[in-house]
Amino acid sequence: MKNLIYIFIGGGLGSVLRFLISNYTQKLWNINTFPMGTFVVNLIGCFLIGVLTSYFIKVDNYLKFLLITGFCGGFTTFSTFSAENYSLWQNGNYSILLIYIFLSIVVGLLAVYLGLQVAKN
């Protein structure tokens, strides 16, 4: 039961931070067709989960639930990514759709890898 509380707290904090960073990023870059806010948040989340996973492979404690399952789970969002892709498709923005999917997957994997490498050192 204690782990659920940590997940709850981490998820809430991650969700609020996702909202703030996503909105700020979208306003900063002001690119109407490309969902830059979600893209940036998901890349940061990929990097963080790489760093945190590298550390918590060696250590098993409540912070794993707070930070990985809770915070990173609340911070990143596959559902928003999917909804934005659907919207791009519906609006006929096929080139942006393909670029967004490709960059999210490839750069996301690269961010996880970089996070794991940074945490090793």
Binding positions for Na(+) are: 73, 76
Length of the chain: 121
Q: CB count, 10 Å around CB of 68?
A: 18
37: which residues sit within 8 A by CB, 6+ positions away? 21, 22, 23, 24, 25, 26
Q: CA nearest 40: which of 28, 53, 50? A: 28
The number of CA neighbours under 13 Å toward the Cβ of 35 is 24
Binding residues: 73, 76
Q: At what angle do helices 78-90 and 36-56 cross, to 10 degrees?
A: 150
